[in-house]
Each structure stands twice: as C-alpha cells, then as structure tokens.
Amino acid sequence: MKAKPHSPQRVGAAADSPARRYFKEVRFRQIRSLVELSRHGSFAATAAAMGLAVPSVWQQIRSLEDEYGVQFVVADGSKVSLTDDGRMLVDLAAPLVESFDGLRAVFEDRRSTAARTLTVVAPSNMLSGALRRPIILYRQHHPKVKLVLLDRPSYLAKDVIEQDEADLAVIGMAEGDEPMSQFQYLPLARFAFHLICPATHTLMQSRHLTLAGIVNEPLVLAPEESSSHRQIRKVFSRAGLGERMNVTMTATNRALMLNYVAIGFGISIGTAAAGAKPPKRTAGEAEIVFRDASDLFGHEEVFLVQRKGRFEPAHVRAFRELVVKAFRSES
C-alpha cells in the first residue's frame, strides 16, 4: 500500500495527538510503578501506596517489560524482587520520579508562601550528642521553620525516611549493611567501639581483651534495632559466641545505660557517638571508664541520608550544612 503523504502541521497546533499524550502519561505511570515496587517489595503494598488496584500495577510492570524487551521483576509468591535490569532502570528513573514529585515543593519554595517544616530522624545518642549543637543553631537562625525531631534506632530510622516521613536521617550502619539505592549517603563520622565498665572490673585490669572474656558478662546495650547492637551481635556470632550473649538491659538513652553500669547491673559496649559523660559517683559506686575495643568490634560508620534527585529546599540545605560542619569540627 502506498503511504499517504505527510500532512504539514498547522502553526500553533499541538505537537502531540491525544493518543500520543495518553501514551506518554501511561509510560510515566509504568516507570513510577517500577520505582514504587522497588521500595515496597510487593504488588499489594505498591498498589496501596499508589491508590491503584493490584492488577493495574501488575499490568503496568508487564507493559514496561514488553516495551523494553527485558524482564524487570521476578515474582515469588507475594514477594517480588528486581532483576539486574530492573535495578538499573530504577537507579536511572528514581531521580526523575523524585524530581517530578518535588515540583510543587520547588514552586512553593520559590514563591516562599509554603509553611516550612523540617523533619529529622536519628537515634537518641545522636540527638543528645553530635546533633545537639546544630539543632540549637538552626532554631536560632530559622525560627519560622517548624523543626520536628524523631528518636529512632538506626534500623527504624531507615524505615522512617524510606516511607517519606522525614526529610533527613542521621544513622549508623553496622558492618555488612546495604545502603538503599534510592538514597544518597553522606559520610559524617567513624566512631570506635569501647568497652564501658567500672574501673575496678577485672576486664579493665586484664592486659588483653577477648570476645570469650566479654561474652560471659551481663551486657547493657543499645536496642536490637540499633547499628551498634547489630554489629556487636554479628561479631560475637561470627566467633561462635552469639548464643552465649547475656543481654540484661537495652536502652536508647546512653546516660541511662551508664547509670546501670555504675550500679553493677552489667558492662556495656558502645561508641563515643552519644557524647554522654559517666554519671557522678554516689556511695558504693565505682568510677566508670572506657577502654578501646575497636580491635574486636571495629567502628560504627555514621551517615546523613536523604533521597536522591529530590529538590532540596533552602531550609533543608541549611540544616544539612550545619550538621556536616559540626561533625567535621569534631573529627
């Protein structure tokens, strides 16, 4: 069949037909579906987050795979995982989706009419330690911004920012933790692990610390969801001592932990991230001392985390810069 000659487009006419515009809109929905699926891990959770039916999300993913000619998703019952191609496309597309989603925030920030709120999530030891000074300075210089602080152990803080319930997170990462691909991690500090116990304790008198010697003691640790607790447990487990750990207390508050170490409730293992000083001694209590145990337990890496590709308003950038400056001045 002879092809029809191409009709010239009228000046001022729309470049795209309604069908072509619809195709572009559907394609963006397909890309968004894949990005959201990478975050939520199941079609049901993705559909709920997007306000769609499960079959709609499934069809959009399959249509995207048909268009690209590769498989992006592998389903195993109710759980799904991305293929290497799927992860590659998400890494490329996530910043674009974030930029589009942040368009309103950009517009309102330029107009300076939106009420400004900054939500920061971090473990209590960070909030009471290294973040305390930046928070004070930020409130002095940005009194009109509503600053919301969430106290969560690192593992739970990661969930908070992943669910878009915070703008920034300051978290520790245990050995072997995998960063979330849709977030950028700015290194802030590296804290050595210390043994914390009374000065009169036999471990403080011994010439060399060993895991076997420490694991026999009652332990006062940060919560299981914290990066420090998970790293300590990994170290003991790797040495075949994980089941012998005797954790007698967990607490998010470092001062509380030190008080119970002081009364002989147990010994502690942690980092200097909290900046908490040993409690004042009362009658019958020994002096609390710290001993470097990094040769056994290594270091805790601390990062400032925020979503990739998202527009960063000036009031968020200001806090980030204060945090970076505070950590650099302490290093």
Neighbour count for residue 215 (Cβ, 10 Å): 17
Select from 242, 246, 229, 236 the least CA-distant residue to 211: 236
Indicate the range of 73-77, 124-128, 208-212, 322-326 predicted with least confidence.
73-77
Q: Are 63 and 30 in contact (CB under 8 A)?
A: yes
Task: Give the mean pLDDT of 129-153.
Answer: 94
Measured at the alpha carbon of residue 122, what is the angle toward residues 255 and 97, in degrees to the nearest 5?
175
Q: What share of the chain is helix, strand, coil (3-state, %, to 5)?
A: 45, 20, 30
Res 96 pLDDT > 80: no
pLDDT at 330: 72
Q: Where are the alpha helices (DSSP H) in the chain?
A: 18-40, 43-50, 54-68, 84-101, 103-111, 124-128, 132-141, 154-162, 202-205, 211-215, 227-238, 254-262, 294-297, 314-330
Q: How much is the pTM?
A: 0.66
Tokens coding 247: 């954790």
One-letter amino acid for residue 258 of the chain: L
Please tell me what DSSP assigns to residue 329.
Answer: H
Res 63 pLDDT > 80: yes
Measured at the alpha carbon of residue 305, what is the angle toward residues 302 and 306, in degrees to the nearest 5?
170
Indicate the range of 15-24, 29-38, 80-89, 183-192 predicted with least confidence.
15-24
pLDDT at 21: 47
Q: Which helix (H) or strand (E) holds 224?
A: none
Residue ranges and CATH numbers for the domains of the chain are 18-101 (1.10.10.10), 112-187+301-330 (3.40.190.10), 190-300 (3.40.190.10)
